[in-house]
Amino acid sequence: METPEKKKKTLPVLSDTVIVSLFLLITFCTGIAFVWAGVYDTKDGKPLTAVLWSLACFVLGALIGFLFGIPRVLQGNPPPPPPPSGSPTATLTAPPSPPPPPTLLQTAGYDLRVNTNLEQISDWLTKIIVGLGLVELRTAPARLKSAAGYIARGIGPGTDYFAAGLVVYFTILGFMGAYLITRLYIAGAFGRADRAASKQEEQDLQRVENIQLPTLGRDEVLSDDDKKAAKNVASKPLAELESPNEISVWAKAQLSLGNYVDAVKGYGKAIGQLGEDPEKRYAYATALYYSGAKDLAFVQLLEAYKRLTAASDKTLRRNVYRSLTYQALFQDPPKGFDDAIRFGEEYVRDHQNLVSPGVWANLAAAYGQKMKWLLTNNPTDQTALEATRNRALAVVQQTAGMGERWKKKIREMMDKNFPNKDPNESDLEVFAGDEDFRKLVGL
């Protein structure tokens, strides 16, 4: 609902526009009436031709008035840098007030610029018109007489002066009308359209920023609004982007839409300047993984892991560990499952971290891989076998207790005859004959 103050600011502009429009309508209709009546009373006069010429002069004047009335758009150049702290100017000048917080458009590298092509054309044409008008001012009466004579031949005999008045009246009326309407209404409409476009751009960027990156091994479904925002952001060519934040937002939009090759290009271009940001490294790894470069993705995941700190976002930390433990399962043994166990145990033992069933499930799979490897390569080491089995049982119990979905996941990894079983989910089949494991998942 509009506030009274806003209504007070809006109503005068609307009333001025209405008054000018009514004035133009009255004067235009009056002029048309005089043209029709005047030519109609003339012998062999053609009133329809006269009205058509009146409209032509009005439109010509309106076009020129519109060009003169197009507003200039200030693009908001950045303020000049402050003087050095030791300079006399800095000593005499009061300390500047802190700048307002940047909007998302600015922080993401987006600086929406209004398309001023029409303004530039208007500027060129008005300068040409004014320049030629001043140069040819002496010949204006002769040119008006020539134009009136040409029009009079189509209207009827003896209408030269009538045609001259027609040209002057409707051209000036069209010019003034279009100029005033442009200044009173169209300028505001341009401003509202530009602000709406800027607001929509900011909303799209905010939506893309809030989109959750897909987890390795799981497909995420975008909402219709998120998909639309991502398409809007991704529609801008990569070559036109400059700042790393701007490029990373674009790359995230591409990643969210499943354009993994483009996402890799975007993150690859931005990562040189954003290398210390673990979130961008994680996003880059995700894009690499889904583009098929899984070995490079694991390298980037390790880079993201190295850059995690105590202040890092907990959700990001969970995602990095979950992806690391998942992808380590596909590395060559024994290093693969050793890495998965190391990362998984490190995560679950830190009670400050968010609970992650995915990390627990990956950890259970890693112990299953280790047990299978020990039985094949070192079956006589009963101490290692028993320790691995006991820890695997504890991890499976923890995972199965996190909900039916995860209990079902453990059952799939253990049961060879699980309906529609994924061939890759076989890491716990080594414990399929162990009654303790079977009881935990209801086999």
Note if the pTM is more than 0.85.
no
Is residue 79 included in any domain, yes or no? no
Burial string for 169-195 (b: 16+ CB within 10 Å, else e) reads: bbbebbbbbbbbbbbbbbbeebeeeee
Whether 31 and 144 map to the same domain: the answer is: yes
d(CA 310, CA 199): 35
Last residue of a domain, one of 275, 307, 339: 307
Is residue 385 included in any domain, yes or no? yes
User: In the prediction, which pLDDT does 219 show?
Assistant: 58
Count structural domains, the chain: 3
Residue span of the structural domain in which 238 resides: 211-307
Whether 43 and 162 map to the same domain: the answer is: yes
Burial class (CB in 10 A: 0-12, 13-18, 19+), 37: exposed
Is residue 329 included in any domain, yes or no? yes
Whether 139 and 217 map to the same domain: the answer is: no
Contact 344, 326 (CB under 8 A): no
CA atoms within a 13 Å half-sphere pointing along the CA-CB vector of 283? 34
CATH number at residue 267: 1.25.40
Whether 145 and 62 map to the same domain: the answer is: yes
Whether 297 and 351 map to the same domain: the answer is: no
**The two three-digit tokens of residue 322, written as one number:** 């979950």
Is residue 215 included in any domain, yes or no? yes
d(CA 366, CA 351): 21
Whether 215 and 202 map to the same domain: the answer is: no
**The two three-digit tokens of residue 316, written as one number:** 């990001």
**How many C-beta atoms lie closer than 10 Å to residue 13's C-beta?**
12
Whether 163 and 239 map to the same domain: the answer is: no
d(CA 277, CA 264): 16
Whether 227 and 200 map to the same domain: the answer is: no
d(CA 201, CA 205): 6
d(CA 368, CA 429): 8
Whether 223 and 202 map to the same domain: the answer is: no
Is residue 89 included in any domain, yes or no? no
Whether 59 and 197 map to the same domain: the answer is: yes
Is residue 97 included in any domain, yes or no? no
- Which of these, 134, 109, 82, 146, lies nearest to 273 by C-alpha position? 109
d(CA 301, CA 304): 5
Is residue 90 included in any domain, yes or no? no
Last residue of a domain, one of 307, 334, 352: 307
User: In the prediction, which pLDDT does 339 show?
Assistant: 95
Whether 301 and 325 map to the same domain: the answer is: no
Is residue 298 included in any domain, yes or no? yes
Q: Three-state SS string across the chain, please?
A: CCCHHHHHHHHHHHHHHHHHHHHHHHHHHHHHHHHHHHHHCCCCCCHHHHHHHHHHHHHHHHHHHHHHHCCCCCCCCCCCCCCCCCCHHHHHCCCCCCCCCCCHHHHCCCCCCCCCHHHHHHHHHHHHHHHHHHHCHHHHHHHHHHHHHHHHHHHCCCCHHHHHHHHHHHHHHHHHHHHHHHHHHHHHHHHHHHHHHHHHHHHHHHHHHHCCCCCCCCCCCCCHHHHHHHHHHHCCCHHHCCCHHHHHHHHHHHHHCCCHHHHHHHHHHHCCCCCCCHHHHHHHHHHHHHHCCHHHHHHHHHHHHHCCCCCCCHHHHHHHHHHHHHHHCCCCCCHHHHHHHHHHHHHHCCCCCCCCHHHHHHHHHHHHHHHHHHHHHCCCCHHHHHHHHHHHHHHHHHHHCCCHHHHHHHHHHHCCCCCCCCCCCCCCHHHCCCHHHHHHHCC
d(CA 413, CA 424): 8
Per-residue confidence in pLDDT tens, the chain, 443 aa: 455 555 445 545 556 777 777 888 888 888 888 888 777 666 677 888 888 888 999 988 888 888 777 766 555 444 444 544 444 444 444 444 444 444 444 444 444 444 455 667 766 777 777 777 676 667 778 888 888 888 888 888 878 888 888 888 888 888 888 888 877 777 777 767 667 666 767 777 677 877 877 666 555 667 888 888 888 888 888 888 888 888 888 988 988 888 999 999 998 888 877 768 898 899 999 999 999 999 999 999 999 999 999 899 999 999 999 999 999 999 999 999 999 999 999 999 999 999 999 999 999 999 999 999 999 999 999 999 999 999 999 999 999 999 999 999 999 999 998 898 888 889 999 999 999 999 988 87
Last residue of a domain, one of 152, 172, 206: 206
| Cβ neighbours for 388, distance < 8 A, ≥ 6 positions apart | 367, 370, 371, 374
User: In the prediction, which pLDDT does 194 show?
Assistant: 66
d(CA 437, CA 76): 67
Whether 283 and 349 map to the same domain: the answer is: no
